[in-house]
Amino acid sequence: MPNIQIGHHLLHFQVEGAGPDVLMIHGMASSHRMWERPMQRLAAVGLRAWALDLPGCGESSQPSEGWYTIANLTAMVERFADRVGIRRAVMIGHSMGGAIALALADWRPQLTSALVLVAPVVSGRLGLELHLLFETPLGQQLLNVAQRHNVLGRIGELPTVSVPWLAQRMNPALRRDVQDLAHATPEAAIGALRAVMDFDFTDRLATIHAPALVVVGTRDVTVPPSEGALAAAGIPGARLVKLRGIGHQPVDECPEKFDRLLLQFLNESVR
């Protein structure tokens, strides 16, 4: 897997195929690995698929404390695209990656040929209204403690360190997500959470003029499906697909259906 130095950050990425570019952006405390299957499908139909590990995630280097904002993440993805020679691409973003894709389409419209937003963050809302808790002084203290003691990383380590039999019973996608959570730095995990809650793109949605597909799961308790509905309502001509009984990971929870939706949209938008 190649890597590239951008400023103080060493970014790992994966690229497959040849043809029009598709750039895939993962979400909070995840990695490029969530896109491995779709990348293969895209390469097989004549597209060049890219996926990177955001700073502090996967095999990319750790960012400095306080670095994590949607603006910094978007600028990093933009610089990555420029460095590897992507001039125009379909931007696919999951969760926080959806926020980055939206911001990038606003900042550099000429770089974005189309958008695919999967369970996207749009207004900073979290499932179960957790953003309301974290915005309070108590919530901020909880986030500080969680970052200082790497609480999310320790939770991610539990199945492999403290309860190894649990890891053996996980499906491969869930095991990958848990491993990525354990591997993410505290700044990437908690910093991403803060970045998401500070992001509100509601008033900018109408500036997006690229074709857009928005995919949400009706049982998503991480990012409310209403966030995706908000994006689809605000982006001119956007298409919203609600997947019944699906949670926050449509890419893994209904892989065949997701791939079919993605390929159909790309066939209409890119060809």
What pLDDT is stored for residue 28 in this prediction? Answer: 87
For residue 209, pLDDT beyond 90: yes
For residue 218, pLDDT beyond 80: yes
What pLDDT is stored for residue 152 in this prediction? Answer: 45
Going from N- to C-terminal start, the domains of the chain cover: 3-128+199-269
d(CA 105, CA 255): 26
What pLDDT is stored for residue 197 in this prediction? Answer: 85
Q: Can you tell me the mean pLDDT for 219-246? A: 96
CB proximity list for 103: less than 8 A, separation 6 or greater = 70, 71, 74, 199, 201
Contact 263, 22 (CB under 8 A): no
Contact 224, 125 (CB under 8 A): yes
* Residue 263 or residue 146, greater confidence: 263
Ranking 93-107, 138-152, 232-246 by mean pLDDT, the lowest is: 138-152
Give pLDDT tens digits for 2-53: 999 998 899 999 999 999 999 999 998 889 999 999 999 999 999 999 999 9
CB proximity list for 220: less than 8 A, separation 6 or greater = 119, 127, 246, 247, 248
- Evaluated on CA atoms 219, 154, 66, 73, the torsion sign reads negative
What pLDDT is stored for residue 230 in this prediction? Answer: 97
d(CA 159, CA 268): 42
What pLDDT is stored for residue 47 in this prediction? Answer: 97
CA 100 → CA 45, 74, 178, 201, 231, distances in Å?
26, 5, 22, 10, 13
Residue with tokens 């750039």: 23
Give pLDDT tens digits for 43-90: 999 999 999 999 999 899 988 878 989 999 999 999 999 999 999 999
What pLDDT is stored for residue 196 in this prediction? Answer: 87
Contact 42, 20 (CB under 8 A): no
What pLDDT is stored for residue 189 in this prediction? Answer: 74
Give pLDDT tens digits for 153-194: 444 444 444 444 344 455 677 767 777 777 667 677 778 888
Helices (H) and strands (E) in the chain, counts: 12, 8
Residue type, 58: G
Q: Can you tell me the mean pLDDT for 197-213? A: 95
d(CA 242, CA 246): 9
What pLDDT is stored for residue 129 in this prediction? Answer: 52
Q: What is the CA radius of gyration of the chain?
A: 17
Contact 195, 73 (CB under 8 A): yes
Give pLDDT tens digits for 103-157: 999 999 999 999 999 999 999 888 655 544 445 554 455 545 444 444 444 444 4
Residues in the chain: 271
What pLDDT is stored for residue 133 in this prediction? Answer: 44
Contact 238, 231 (CB under 8 A): yes
CB proximity list for 28: less than 8 A, separation 6 or greater = 95, 96, 188, 189, 192, 193, 196
- What six digits make up the tokens of 92? 């696919």
What pLDDT is stored for residue 153 in this prediction? Answer: 43
Which one is the CATH code of 3-128+199-269: 3.30.565.10, 3.40.50.1820, 3.30.1490.20, 3.40.50.720? 3.40.50.1820
